[in-house]
A and B are shown apart, each in its own frame.
Chain A
């Protein structure tokens, strides 16, 4: 309010308020009840009425009568306003008598009964508006024109609020009110009206002078008319000017994935996802339209049912669990959402779709909407899935004889006559006749995959509900049993008042995750362990440490199984939307969202997990971590819809107030007396409390959108947002963002209709606008000291440590996006081609600007006038190839050709980024040495230096002469769906062309070396080609046992030798399902029953030499091949 008192709001706002108020007076409100007849049949006894009411509203009398007789009442809200309370006591009285009694007391109202359609039409006795003198009852308006009223409903009888009604060939039109009712005045008696509503088929109706039209719209079936959830509203592709892609529950449910975001892989043009590992809930890299930011966050804005989720440091202290942490991959918070609760995921890409999210949407936005109940019979749905996951690919590694040969050759070449004391693999400590295929032993298992879900849903036109629950279990491929258990509950409730003015929506999701996944990814060890390394177990079943003089000679991986973790996570998201229709076309609503995520973890290291030589003084230790974060959001909003000047105008104005806070605490305990008590802090001799990690983030904004569609042909869309964020320096906290876009549906023009046959739809659109990126963490502008926690505080007192150099001027990165789109539909939209060209430029880059350590810290955050450009082409094609009575075949294909480049970086040459960035090249390129093969004389790797001379000791950075670009040249997906009677088959391929670090040389250490501490030594079997004698021409450096050739090996790892083509096509998903025959279902009283098989990551076609072309790593668990069998029944 402060703002209002200080200054006048913009003139436009006042005008709007006045206009709205004026319209309130001049616009006639028509409300038509639409009480459902319900299950009771319309029998003759329905014609009598029993009532015992005292001083109740006329409306409630109407509803009682409707309930008893099945007669509808058609009336306006104005009429009800003019009614007086009714007192009536009747028993089994005929309907006409009751009506007579009822209306006798009404001074201003009369009625008319239509027995044929069982309707009672309420009329007014000659009343004129006080203000305008306008006659308020529907009357002919002269010249033979008539007033048309009616109600628009869905086929199920649900009133459609805000549906557009326009008179064909004129500029007249209107929108319906909350009850779906409309009134059109001055219409020619022979006029045709066109009724349309988002998500429903458009209908043309000849009015024939009739009043009280009841128009039912069927759900739209065409791809162009499917509803997309957009910020603060809904849209369809037909009228959208934005670059939006929606993935629906159908596509998500077909995929056995635990993280719904992974279900988007390959299905959304412009969206590139790479999974980091094959662990349940491991993180992913996701980019929408390329990398906008050089070094700040690349996350899009995620919104789940109106609540922002998953970004901005969701949990302050993630721990190592889920296999990810140790390898530097943050786990995905979306693993705590249940995919089967999700109705749709909408990916918003361009400015038109995202500018309304302002400073948070430079990287796009992803809106996740959960399922809602539908009116109708109560449905019970059960879905059971059981399956397994396994590692799909293996690396070809040396076997024991090859390995031993390599090691001995290495010693020979190094001039070492006998193996050293720590060469356990060849000095007799290990049994050199052993061979273990560690990939098989450690990664060869089958992970369990179980998913059981059930739901009950139903309701009537005023109230719908859905209650669902899911249990999910997934284990790992490791030889030790680790599993992740999830249980989730989802509840959705929709209600609208009987006059349809008030409505509410409640969505609540809760998931509990009990995670016992290992702390360590064993994949690395499976690749690096010497093939003659000892057995995991002794013959007596105990852990084999392969002792030598009382010391273990290797790190038995089973020790990791003893280092157990217990991680319990609760994720709760709830959102309530309350709405009220003030007058027809003017709704206010408010969204209240809340999410709470907390995670408790205990990591335990028992004495048993340590090699025996440490047992005498080693005590078990534990780490306790508690994290919680919560977000609340309040978003009031006004929606205004009006038919103006021949077109539909929609204005949305709203505001956002959001707060996120998080708290993370960690306690390290050690010195336990027993391994059995590791979960109890009280038994620890030493307790160290780590500094608490907490933050509060606040965000505040106002936004508006104006959308105008003229004659269903010309579209204009304007959005704006003013944002304030607590993440930025006090001087730079507010900023405005905006977008403008337009579209032209040229296929509606007569010229195209006449001249291009087969073209059923054609639209071009363009948008331009601004967004921001605020992903820099909290308090970055704040210079501070924080306490340091140590077991024995220095001088018994807590000390402070400095938080680093602060920059009070930081603000957001600005991204300007433009997009040009073309959508074409052919053959009644059986073939739809959509193309988008995007061009985004991000400036004001927030760079962790590298500082020399001389300054005390390695970097400082600064806004820097560097510019990054992303451009590219997105194409998607959906076709229905065959559609016959029993067989349909449809295809969907999408491809994205992205291009990223740095277009400006002032003073790059004198900056710390000089060796990282090149103007005109992608921002994430690597600059590496130029590999020149193996020196035939010395057997060493060699490189071309900056002067094109061959050297075996290149110097970074000046000899980093080769640029490596790992960005995809193109990526996309191809899906085919076949259905024959009850059988349906989906095949979905995902593909990408890119190069990647093939990890070929990167395994372990120099070939020939054995690293006793880590038991690393094995190599890909291609190393047998290594240089052996002078004159050998090969690409693998000579074997070396003592690290003296480590330098060139490491340099080769920083050269272009380790990058190779990693293009692939992956059979991402296969889903085969069979609908049980109808009569079987009938006998079993089932509405729906199907059995299915689903497979994920089934096959990968690639020439890549590493383990997995998607992760590009040979040392991380690749995405698993998952196959499940399932049954779904609905009663």
Chain B
């Protein structure tokens, strides 16, 4: 055999063996360069903190883009405001909002209707659940950071459930990321959901730092944008109030109110009308920092509420103005009416708008944060709990803190029924257009039917027909199709 033939044989053997190298190595690809695996993300302080930062960022985006159909919890001020008696819809061509406005939600989705809190809140819930699973017993992080982050995740879960249970009554209780289990969950009773909220808040409270911390979940900062112990406490007191546990509501609210080094009721005046809503005000317990620059680098509330001289408009940007029911609720001389409400007149019609946030669309430097919890609410929570316990003296005194700031005459004495009514009224004018408070108050105090229907018939005035079942929102039928154990909200079948 000559040399050429020999080398050819070698070559053929080599060639064929190359062909058969179908080994695993050749199809292994590195992880995508733009992503980080779940295992790695919870392995360091910085990346684990970034996961929760991502949730706040996403919540903030929901707030700022609410007028474009975003529907995370922060945009509830818009839809719940329209659904209740706070806002009037000018742009009735906005079908998504129109269905809220006329209390006419349906389980069926036409194009883009309705903005669906269910799906957006449950989507927000996924990361906290994933974080709780990965942060519990996590020894890769420094203990302090691990506790703070776990606390934040627990708080966020409770926060999401708070909105779910109030909007939908009973909801599936998802506490893991296992889709096989979760996709078959039925609705849990409201009691169980509240239990979960309270338990998560309690855990969060014990885990989180008493200071406001920065993006590393560790270093103290003046920025009140990351939940801490007091934020969990604020939600906890609210949860106790909503579930009628007056004693604990008082206990929790008191612990915040007494923390005067961090929190105080900001005074308002003509020269400084919006103090509580300026970023990191002392009244702020927790706020969301705006992250987007359009339509404004400030809050969605400011961008959507503050009307230009041309007034509300068709086609997206300024669809709403304040409802007369809200305007007429203000007592004469209420500073909140003069400082937190403004108006424009177009062709003889005056349109009022909420002016708590004074940075409008087109403002390009962040100056206001979207306040989620503020101290005033804690006073009102405590007042209501005290009133319910029969402690009208303390209740009135707490109520007067709020009235005093609004330059209204203080109450000296009120008895049970009127006292509770006064507190509810005070909540209406203090917390208007904030986070759906008014709507939740109407439902939980069982006033929804009488206000929306009945003699007042707010719903009728808005062009709808009130039905008692409208106190809870329907869920999309596709959701029921996807989860065989899920049932439609009563009244929407």
Binding site for B on A (CB under 8 A): 1-4, 9, 13, 17, 20-21, 24-25, 81, 421-422, 549-551, 582, 588, 613, 616-618, 636, 638, 653-655, 657, 670-671, 685-686, 688, 691-702, 722, 724-726, 733-734, 778-779, 782-788, 790-803, 805, 850-858, 860, 910, 912, 914-915, 955-957, 1011-1014, 1042-1043, 1046-1047, 1050
B182 contacts which of A638, A654, A854 (Cβ < 8 Å)? A854
Residues of B25-82 contacting chain A, CB below 8 A: 25-38, 41, 47, 49-58, 60-61
**Range for the number of chain B residues in contact with chain A:** 35 or more
A801 contacts which of B58, B95, B119 (Cβ < 8 Å)? B58
Residues of B within 8 A of A853 (CB): 118-119, 122-123, 479
Residues of A within 8 A of B123 (CB): 853, 856-857
Contact A655 B125 (CB under 8 A): no
With an 8 A cutoff between CB atoms, is B8 at the interface?
yes
Residues of B9-38 contacting chain A, CB below 8 A: 9, 12-13, 15-38
Chain B residue with minimal CB distance to A907?
B484
Contact B183 A851 (CB under 8 A): yes
Chain A residue with minimal CB distance to B31?
A782
Chain A residue with minimal CB distance to B9?
A21
In the assembled complex, 9 residue pairs joining A and B whose CB atoms fall closer than 8 Å, in A order, are: A3-B20, A694-B32, A702-B19, A722-B22, A793-B291, A797-B216, A805-B177, A854-B122, A910-B484
CA distance A941 to B42 in the complex (A): 56
Given contacts A636-B18, A788-B58, A802-B130, contact A2 B119 (CB under 8 A): no
Given contacts A694-B34, A794-B289, A802-B126, contact A613 B477 (CB under 8 A): no
Residues of A within 8 A of B293 (CB): 670-671, 686, 688, 791-792
CA distance A586 to B362 in the complex (A): 74
Contact A799 B51 (CB under 8 A): yes
Contact B32 A794 (CB under 8 A): no
B68 to chain A, nearest CB (A): 13
Given contacts A551-B310, A618-B362, A957-B477, contact A9 B17 (CB under 8 A): yes
Given contacts A638-B15, A670-B294, A1012-B315, contact A1042 B55 (CB under 8 A): no
CA distance A853 to B122 in the complex (A): 6
Chain B residue with minimal CB distance to A799?
B54
With an 8 A cutoff between CB atoms, is B481 at the interface?
yes
B482 to chain A, nearest CB (A): 4
Chain B residue with minimal CB distance to A806?
B38
With an 8 A cutoff between CB atoms, is B256 at the interface?
no
Residues of B within 8 A of A724 (CB): 22, 24, 26-27
CA distance A671 to B297 in the complex (A): 12
Q: Which 7 A-B pairs have the closest CB atoms?
A: A1013-B315, A856-B126, A617-B362, A799-B54, A797-B215, A799-B53, A655-B19
CA distance A838 to B315 in the complex (A): 53
Residues of A within 8 A of B95 (CB): 1043, 1046
B310 contacts which of A20, A549, A783 (Cβ < 8 Å)? A549
CA distance A697 to B127 in the complex (A): 28
Residues of A within 8 A of B91 (CB): 1013
B170 to chain A, nearest CB (A): 13
CA distance A426 to B479 in the complex (A): 42
Contact B22 A788 (CB under 8 A): no
B260 to chain A, nearest CB (A): 25
Residues of A within 8 A of B177 (CB): 805, 855-856
Residues of A within 8 A of B92 (CB): 1042-1043
Contact A795 B215 (CB under 8 A): yes
Chain B residue with minimal CB distance to A20?
B12
CA distance A784 to B291 in the complex (A): 23
Add 6 more A-B contacts to A613-B313, A779-B32 (CB < 8 A).
A17-B16, A655-B20, A698-B27, A724-B22, A797-B53, A1013-B314
CA distance A433 to B185 in the complex (A): 61
Tell me the interface secondary structure of chain A in the complex: mixed
A135 to chain B, nearest CB (A): 19
Residues of B within 8 A of A1011 (CB): 93
Residues of B within 8 A of A588 (CB): 12, 15
CA distance A860 to B8 in the complex (A): 52
CA distance A2 to B28 in the complex (A): 15
With an 8 A cutoff between CB atoms, is B460 at the interface?
no
Contact A795 B225 (CB under 8 A): yes
Chain A residue with minimal CB distance to B483?
A852
Contact B13 A17 (CB under 8 A): yes
CA distance A17 to B12 in the complex (A): 8
Residues of B within 8 A of A799 (CB): 50-58
Given contacts A855-B183, A857-B126, contact A692 B34 (CB under 8 A): yes
A726 to chain B, nearest CB (A): 4
Chain B residue with minimal CB distance to A791?
B293
Chain A residue with minimal CB distance to B480?
A852
Chain A residue with minimal CB distance to B362?
A617
Contact A792 B292 (CB under 8 A): yes
Contact B5 A25 (CB under 8 A): yes
Contact A697 B179 (CB under 8 A): no
CA distance A617 to B17 in the complex (A): 68
Given contacts A698-B26, A700-B22, contact A912 B54 (CB under 8 A): no
B224 to chain A, nearest CB (A): 11
CA distance A3 to B25 in the complex (A): 11
Interface-centre pick from A9, A685, A700, A701 (highest chain B CB count, 10 A): A700
Contact B26 A700 (CB under 8 A): yes
Given contacts A13-B16, A854-B182, contact A3 B23 (CB under 8 A): yes
Residues of A within 8 A of B12 (CB): 17, 20-21, 582, 588, 638
With an 8 A cutoff between CB atoms, is B491 at the interface?
no
Residues of A within 8 A of B119 (CB): 853, 858
A852 contacts which of B22, B309, B482 (Cβ < 8 Å)? B482
Residues of A within 8 A of B30 (CB): 696
With an 8 A cutoff between CB atoms, is B346 at the interface?
yes
CA distance A957 to B480 in the complex (A): 10
CA distance A2 to B5 in the complex (A): 26
Contact B477 A790 (CB under 8 A): no
B35 contacts which of A3, A616, A671, A784 (Cβ < 8 Å)? A784
Chain A residue with minimal CB distance to B106?
A1047
Chain A residue with minimal CB distance to B36?
A785
Residues of B within 8 A of A4 (CB): 17, 20-21
Contact B179 A805 (CB under 8 A): yes
Contact A854 B185 (CB under 8 A): yes
Chain B residue with minimal CB distance to A956?
B108
Residues of B within 8 A of A955 (CB): 107-108, 477
Contact B290 A792 (CB under 8 A): yes
Residues of A within 8 A of B9 (CB): 17, 21, 24
Residues of B within 8 A of A698 (CB): 26-29
A794 contacts which of B53, B127, B316 (Cβ < 8 Å)? B53
Residues of A within 8 A of B215 (CB): 794-797
B73 to chain A, nearest CB (A): 14
With an 8 A cutoff between CB atoms, is B286 at the interface?
no
Residues of B within 8 A of A778 (CB): 29, 32
CA distance A734 to B53 in the complex (A): 39
B304 to chain A, nearest CB (A): 15
Residues of B within 8 A of A696 (CB): 29-30, 32
With an 8 A cutoff between CB atoms, is B172 at the interface?
yes
Residues of B within 8 A of A655 (CB): 18-22
Residues of B within 8 A of A701 (CB): 22
Residues of B within 8 A of A699 (CB): 27
Residue-wise interface mask of B (408-451) relative to A, using a CB-CB cutoff of 8 A (1 in contact, 0 not): 00000000000000000000000000000000000000000000
Contact A783 B38 (CB under 8 A): yes
Residues of B within 8 A of A549 (CB): 310, 346-347
CA distance A1012 to B214 in the complex (A): 46
Contact B23 A2 (CB under 8 A): yes
A559 to chain B, nearest CB (A): 13
With an 8 A cutoff between CB atoms, is B129 at the interface?
yes
Residues of A within 8 A of B316 (CB): 1013
Contact A800 B47 (CB under 8 A): yes
B376 to chain A, nearest CB (A): 25
Contact A785 B38 (CB under 8 A): yes
Contact B366 A782 (CB under 8 A): no
Contact B38 A794 (CB under 8 A): no
